[in-house]
Amino acid sequence: MLTPAVLIAAPASGQGKTTLTAALARLHSRAGRRVRVFKCGPDFLDPAWLALASGAPVDNLDLWIVGEADCRARLHRAAVEADLILVEGVMGLFDGEPSAADLALRLGLPVLTVIDASAMVGTFGALAWGLASYRDGLQTMGVLANRVASPGHADMLRASLREPRHWLGAMPRAAQAVMPERHLGLVSAHELPDALARLDAVADTLATTPLGQMTPADWQAWAVPFAAPEQPTVPPLLAGCTIAIARDAAFAFIYPANLDCLRALGAELTFFSPLAHEPLPACDAVWLPGGYPELHLDRLAAHTGLRAALHDHAAAGRPIWAECGGMMALFDQIVGTDGVAQPAWGLLPGSVTMQSRLAALGPQQLAVTATAPALRGHTFHYSTCDTALPVAVRSQAAPGRSLRGQGEALYQRGSVRASYFHPWFASSPQAAASLFLPEAA
């Protein structure tokens, strides 16, 4: 399968990768083209904007967490239906192990670079040349200047390039106010009623650039072959199991691929919104994903019916899996950065305290059973936990990486298991299934 595709990269975080990727996706999708977007590395917030822009689900790609075979399979499935594939990179092009550049080289993706040029002129050309030349084998589609002050500034930036054919245009500073941020990253698209209008505005700006004016025929020059890989079979370990999944602004960190994995395992999925005070659906197991419970404590604490239902569910020995924000909501209380403690649901003893500094970040793996391969995933949180619960097991660093301090704890109290760790279920379907089955199963 031969489909136009590009990896959108930058020299560092905060350069405008997500804005450019979303604008490009929106520009093509509203023109009637089928666009599929992927996010390099673990991330929940950028994909929400990219899904809105493209009108299609957004999966993550990572050579270790997801695995090369799974990355290839997802890209092939997308190529079958798409006119254009966009992959947003992570951090700087060569940052991390594996990096976005590693992914581009392994999968044959050309690289489109976006550079924040707000405080430079001639150095723009040096950066563009260095990023294109640093690793042998990288294909360079071109470079777009971001946060440009004026047409005159854009002219000077263009003149600094050693390869004039690489110039793809400039985006002004005003175009960057599209996506507001908070402590874990971008504000989710579904929290802003004008999110689509914001994307349309930045897409309109992009349409005035050489990149935005590329035709479908122009894009064919950047077509990439995506071969069909072998598909592993997943045993129906969760056949007959109904999993109730919290999903709203407080519990929004859900990989679509994790839902696909649970369905492939045979589970029936049902969703509910704690913030809307929806009751816990009839189910065999509960999943409380990550998110922002600390921003909605009053509404969550007021949902006493759900609190009681979760306690009854656990008392009956039915499994609950809670990750990161989902785990936070299960403790006795959450203390905000202002030092004020507010009650949570009280299934786990102890307290969670928000802090202004990042507490943990990076790819990790967690062995949740003695018989299945470890789940691969990542951790990213701004809170710490104080509990008398013993640690059942701790996560380990990804190969070639080190941890700052100890790995993430997996806590267990009866049928409740909880951790800051965010797993990628398809990395070990058997281990993922065990999170939603009684221990005796």
DSSP 85-118: EEEE--SSTT-TTTTHHHHHHHHT--EEEEEE-T
> Do the Cβ atoms of 332 and 348 come closer than 8 Å?
yes
Calculate helix-pair angle for 17-29, 195-206, nearest 10 degrees.
90
Active site residue 261: no
Residue 8 tokens read as 């959108």
d(CA 388, CA 99) in angstroms, rounded, equals 38
Q: Which of 261, 283, 324, 385 is catalytic?
A: 324
Residue 147 tokens read as 């946060």
Given the DSSP bridges, would you call strands 348-354 and 285-288 parallel, antiparallel or unpaired? Answer: unpaired
Express the helix, strand and coil content of the chain in percent, nearest 5 each. 30, 30, 40
Question: How does 287-298 read in b/e, with b if 16+ C-beta sit within 10 Å?
Answer: bbbbbbbbbbbe
d(CA 307, CA 310) in angstroms, rounded, equals 5
Assign 198 to helix, strand or coil.
Answer: helix
Assign 282 to helix, strand or coil.
Answer: coil
CA 398 distance to own-chain centroid: 18
> Do the Cβ atoms of 144 and 170 come closer than 8 Å?
yes
d(CA 200, CA 371) in angstroms, rounded, equals 50
Catalytic residue list:
324
